[in-house]
Each structure stands twice: as structure tokens, then as C-alpha cells.
Amino acid sequence: MSNDFLYRTFLGNTIYSYLWFAGIIVLGLIFSRLLSKLLTFFVFNFVKQYSIGVGYDKLLVLLKKPTTIFILLITFYFAFNQLVFPAEWNFVSIEKFGLRMFTYRLFLIAIIVSVSWIFLRLIDFFGLVLMHKASLTESKTDDQLVPFFVESLKVVFVIFSVFFIFGAVFKLNIASLIAGLGIGGLAIALAAKESLENLLGSFTIFLDKPFVIGDYIKVGTVEGHVEKIGFRSTRIRTMEKSFLTVPNKKLVEGELDNLSLRIQRLAKFNIGLTYETKAEQFKKIINEIQTYIDNHSRVLKNETRVRLHDFDQSAASIMITYFVDTMEYDVYLNVREEINYKIMEIVEKNGSSFAYPTTTVLMKK
């Protein structure tokens, strides 16, 4: 009786075939992650000798999704192979245009895309290996060449994958397709004008080297550390820790200030003292501030300027300018804070005070 039940036919397939279909699907869903880890482990053992500095965990994170999708696609392939389309539906063969051709080609595209995704992640993995090796060298040029090389290789691989889909799935003549692209190359170039300009900008950055990875730059209103120079754009980490992506075209066309190449940091500001301060007090305050800053160990000698600069509406303004002998922003802030405290002490010691906006009204009887 059980055999009779299993071999009952429903929509052109036996219950036995449906059970095989469901069983393969369930097993694939349950073991897809485990199989993904096993496949990643196999790949890692194969490339282990070339992956010094980057471990299995990094490769597992990169390959987890694409390998899982690839395994699920293979699972669905074997599962649906247990079933056949009902004869009464009169579907045409896989070679003729129809549902079966559409489904088959869609499956082939999905397989090629998943395999390409795996190879793209492997390129990313070797990019991490190369970045690790580049970090061991003193030069920063290789630090910025590696991401550019990785992105270029990925673009070439994606183009190759697209042509492979056209040839393997749609049976197109690749040579004729490339020739056709040559005819429409001008239109494509015009449509991709911005991308081409950014690509040329990236070459300019690599050849002219206005900055390298790790430099602190300022372009227009954008200011921060360069973290990555890519195929199309450069990524900058700002002081607010936001992550800005700037097209390379703007970096080579606009005025770029590489702040990391400065040999010192400038401090320039004004302080305002009340008009009750006498001239002799001003002279003493200015001389003491000048002497203290000149003798500071982190301030460049003969570069300090402390002058009675202007007479504002509510205060007499003293201009203070000096250079701190450091490239580190935190050190600069500490030196400036130390000098500011000393300025406050000097002003207070000489019997003066800082001004704030006031208005004097004279009343006549």
C-alpha cells in the first residue's frame, strides 16, 4: 500500500519524486552554511601559502554569502531535476523560446553571477594580503596602489563575466559584439564622461602624488585624513569621523591643501582688553606674552608676533601669532591651551581684564 501511495501521480510527477524534491531542498537549507564553511576552508588551504598576514576568518566573512547562494542554487538544480513538467501543459523544448528556455537561462545567469561573486571576493581577499604586505613597508605609495589595482582587476573581471554570459547563455558572437562596441564607443564615452574624467583624475593622483594615504588634506570645505584612493573616488575621514567620498576629478581640478606636508602649525588669534587698561599696562602685557611664547620649547623661534593690533568698538585688540613645532593636532592643541592659560595669568597679574561687548550711554541734563 505504501508503494502504491508513493507512486501515485500528481501533475505528471509521483509522490516519491515530490518527497525527493522536498528532501533535497530541506537538506540544502540546513547544511548550506556548513557546506559554505567547508568550501571556504578548502579554498583557504589552497591559497594559504599566498595569504600571509590574513587569516581564515577574513576569507570566511568574504565568501560566506556568495558560497551559500552558490550551494543553494546547486541544491535547487538537483531538487528540480527530480520533477518534470506535466505533458498536458505543452511546454516547448528548452531550445525554443518559452518558459523552459527562460527558466534555464535565468538559472545559468544566476550560477555565473554567483561564481563571479566568489572570484570577486577572492580578489578582495588577496587585496587584503597585499595591503598587509604594503603596511610593512615605509613607503605609502604601495598603500594607495593596492586598492587601485584591486578595483581595476575587479572591473576587468566583471566585464569578462558579462561577455561570458552573452556568449555562454545567449549564444552571441563575442567578436562581433566587441566590434559593435567599437562602433558605439563614442556614444559610450560621451555617456561615461564623468567616469572617464574621474579615472584620469586617479591616474593624475598616482603619477603626480599630491597626497598619499594617511595624509591630512583640505579641498574646498572638505577636510580630513585620506583612507582610500580608488578607481573613481577618494575616501576621506573627517574630524567628525564621517566618511566622505570625493570624486577624483574634484581633487585634481580644485585647490588642494596637503596639511600633512606642513612643517609646523600656525596659531593666530586676537584678544581684547578693556579700554580702562593703561598704555603702560598694555606694553607690559605684550612684552610678557612675547617673552613667554618665545621661550616656549615647542614654539619656533623668531616667528612670534604679539602686537597691539586694533581698536574695536568694545576693546583694544592684541594680535598673537606663533608657530607650534609639531605635525600632531593633539600636541598643537595642548601647546595652545598651555599658552592661553599663561596669557590669562599675565593679563590678570597686570591688573587688566578681557573685554566683552558693552555700550556706554552718556546722559545730559
Position 80: which residue type?
Answer: F
DSSP class of residue 270?
E
**Residue, of 190 and 122, whose pLDDT is higher:** 122
The cell numbers describing 224, all together, are: 580630513
pLDDT value of residue 240 = 83
Distance CA 17, CA 23 (A): 10
210-261 adopts what CATH topology? SH3 type barrels. (2.30.30)
* Angstrom distance (rounded) from CA 164 to CA 166: 5
Q: Per-residue pLDDT for 164 more than 90?
A: no
Over residues 48-75, the pLDDT tens digits come to 887 777 888 888 889 999 999 999 999 9
Cβ-proximal residues to 232 (8 Å cutoff; 6+ apart), any chain: 195, 198, 199, 202, 247, 248
Instruction: State mean pLDDT over 78-89.
Output: 79
Give me the CATH topology for the region 265-349: Alpha-Beta Plaits (3.30.70)
pLDDT at position 5: 66
CA angle 44, 144, 203 (to 5 degrees): 125
Rounded-to-integer distance, Cα 352 and Cα 357, Å:
16
Mean pLDDT estimate for the chain = 84
- Mean pLDDT of all residues in 331-354: 94
**Residues 229/148, Cβ–Cβ less than 8 Å:** yes
d(CA 267, CA 99) in angstroms, rounded, equals: 73
Distance from C-alpha of 74 to C-alpha of 95, rounded to nearest angstrom: 22
Q: Is the pLDDT of residue 1 over 60?
A: no
Q: For residue 236, what are the β-bridge partners? A: 226, 244
24 pLDDT higher than 80 = yes
Q: Are 71 and 25 in contact (CB under 8 A)?
A: no
Domain layout of the chain by residue ranges: 2-136, 210-261, 265-349
pTM, rounded to two decimals? 0.62
pLDDT digits 0-9 by tens, 253-263:
888 888 877 77
Backbone angles phi, psi at 192, to 5 degrees: -105, 30
Quick one: 195 exposed, middle or buried, by C-beta within 10 A (0-12, 13-18, 19+)?
Answer: middle
Q: How many CB atoms lie within 10 A of CB 125?
A: 22
Which residues does 150 contact at the CB level (< 8 Å), separation at least 6? 123, 124, 126, 127, 130
Instruction: pLDDT band for 321, please (50, 70, 90 cuts).
Output: very high
Residue 183 pLDDT greater than 60, yes or no? no
DSSP string, 72-100: HHHHHHHHHTT----GGG-PPPTTSSSHH
